[in-house]
Amino acid sequence: MNVDGKPYRTIWLADDGRGVEIIDQTKLPFTFEVTRLEDCAAAATAIRDMWVRGAPLIGATAAYGMALAMREDPSDENVTASAQALMATRPTAVNLRWAVDAMQALLLPLAPNAREQAAYIRAVEICDEDVAICSSIGDYGLSLIHNVWEARGKPDRVNVLTHCNAGWLATVDWGTALAPIYKAHDAGIPVHVWVDETRPRNQGASLTAWELGKHGVAHTVIVDNVGGHLMQHGMVDMCITGTDRTTAAGDVCNKIGTYLKALAAHDNGVPFYVGLPGPTIDWTIDDGVRDIPIEQRDTVEVTHMTGRTAGGDVETVEIVPAGSPAANFAFDVTPARFVTGLITERGVCSASKDGLAGLYPALAG
């Protein structure tokens, strides 16, 4: 998507064909900064410390991390050690495992001197595939937004609520939840987005608002507790969120707070859709509440907030009494029964075993 008129992806191979460049998302929305990753350790740090984040982008960065590792040392031992190091960065997004497994399956049968080139080629392909997948999610989701807009008599505003950032910054390009919104906006539908701020790291306020603004999409940032009130008053036509892991039965695990929005949507008859790429589906599990590991992050993300002062400096301040304990659960699971539909690159289906199996017959068990 465009940043001040210039098209960007979130990750790309540097001009020398060796290093990997990323947009450092910890600096947004205040500074747009491109950072170069030189080795696998840097790729692991970038994922763990959330310079890059979002399930599909985590997978793409891990694929490049394996390529950087092969440039350093293409031995069997390093394939395995690098895969383990990358896998240990963040537990919830299943795309990470998907990408690392795909790279290991490609590399281990090859002779060591063939691994570097093969790894770079596959990492570039994984990124291109992600862009195509997200664009297709956008096309299917556009039809849903169009239908809602038409059913309401084509008002001058169709309101979509989203949580966290599942836009192009969370993927390689387009996004998952936001791809339909970009396509609707580009098609002339007057879409307006309610952007949940998404404490504790504020991916909504910092990233979703930034990227929607850069593309010219109307939006309003709200605190995380507002969605229920808006839905009670008919101010939300539909919700669309992303997911970091979707079970074979259609449970979705996404940024903490997503579940509460789904409950409010259910109570108010507001359609609740989830956009997801195929690699986000974990075919090995059905029950998300029981089986998905929920990342717990440093409590400093809860006890402190970062922002820009009136003087223009970016500063971090403490917001709780010294010594108050805090907890930082990063994701929650929305059971399939609260999800109106899953928007995938293969079409829209019910959040159920049958729905997903209908779209992915070769992968469903």
Q: Residue 278, Cβ neighbours under 10 Å: how many?
A: 18
DSSP string, 9-77: -SEEE-TTSSSEEEE-TTSTTT---EEEE-SHHHHHHHHHTTSS-SHHHHHHHHHHHHHHHHHH--SHH
- Closest by Cα among 245, 270, 277, 12 to 140: 277
- Rule CB under 6 A: choose which of 61, 89, 176, 246 binds ligand MRU: 176
Q: What is the footprint of ligand MRU within residues 96-155 (CB under 6 A)?
A: none
- Rule CB under 6 A: choose which of 10, 89, 202, 203 binds ligand MRU: 203
Asked whether position 170 contacts ligand MRU by CB under 6 A, the answer is: yes
Asked whether position 248 contacts ligand MRU by CB under 6 A, the answer is: no
Contacts of the segment 75-80: beta carbons below 8 A, 24+ positions apart: 75/112, 76/108, 76/112, 79/104, 79/107, 79/108, 79/115, 80/104
Instruction: Print the binding letters for residues 64-93 with ligand MRU: x by CB under 6 A, - otherwise.
Output: -----------------------------x
- Rule CB under 6 A: choose which of 255, 281, 292, 348 binds ligand MRU: 255
Asked whether position 245 contacts ligand MRU by CB under 6 A, the answer is: no
In angstroms, what is the minimal distance from the CB of 156 to ligand MRU?
A: 29
**Chain-centroid distance, C-alpha 192:** 20
Question: How many residues bind to ligand MRU according to rule CB under 6 A?
Answer: 17
- Cα gap 137→200, rounded to integer Å: 28
In angstroms, what is the minimal distance from the CB of 55 to ligand MRU?
A: 4
Residue with tokens 């929920």: 294
**3-state percent helix, strand, coil for the chain, nearest multiple of 5:** 40, 20, 40
- Give the angle 309-29-94 at the CA atoms, nearest 5°: 130
With a CB cutoff of 8 Å and minimum separation 6, the contacts of 12 are: 20, 21, 127
Q: Which is nearer to ligand MRU, 93 or 343 (CB)?
A: 93
Asked whether position 171 contacts ligand MRU by CB under 6 A, the answer is: yes
Asked whether position 166 contacts ligand MRU by CB under 6 A, the answer is: yes
Q: Which two tokens stand for residue 271?
A: 């359609």
- Rule CB under 6 A: choose which of 202, 206, 243, 246 binds ligand MRU: 243
- Cα gap 351→340, rounded to integer Å: 7
Asked whether position 340 contacts ligand MRU by CB under 6 A, the answer is: no
Given the rule CB under 6 A, which of 16-24, 118-126, 165-173, 337-345 is the region that contacts ligand MRU? 165-173
Residues with a catalytic annotation lie at 244
Asked whether position 244 contacts ligand MRU by CB under 6 A, the answer is: yes
Asked whether position 330 contacts ligand MRU by CB under 6 A, the answer is: yes
In angstroms, what is the minimal distance from the CB of 75 to ligand MRU?
A: 31
- Minimal CB distance residue for ligand MRU: 242
Asked whether position 334 contacts ligand MRU by CB under 6 A, the answer is: no
Q: Which two tokens stand for residue 300?
A: 């400093």
Contact 34, 21 (CB under 8 A): yes
Asked whether position 357 contacts ligand MRU by CB under 6 A, the answer is: no
Q: Which is nearer to ligand MRU, 241 or 340 (CB)?
A: 241
- Cα gap 63→51, rounded to integer Å: 16
- Rule CB under 6 A: choose which of 94, 164, 189, 264 binds ligand MRU: 164
Q: Which is nearer to ligand MRU, 173 or 237 (CB)?
A: 173
Name the site residues for ligand MRU (rule: CB under 6 A): 53-56, 93, 164, 166, 170-171, 176, 203, 242-244, 254-255, 330
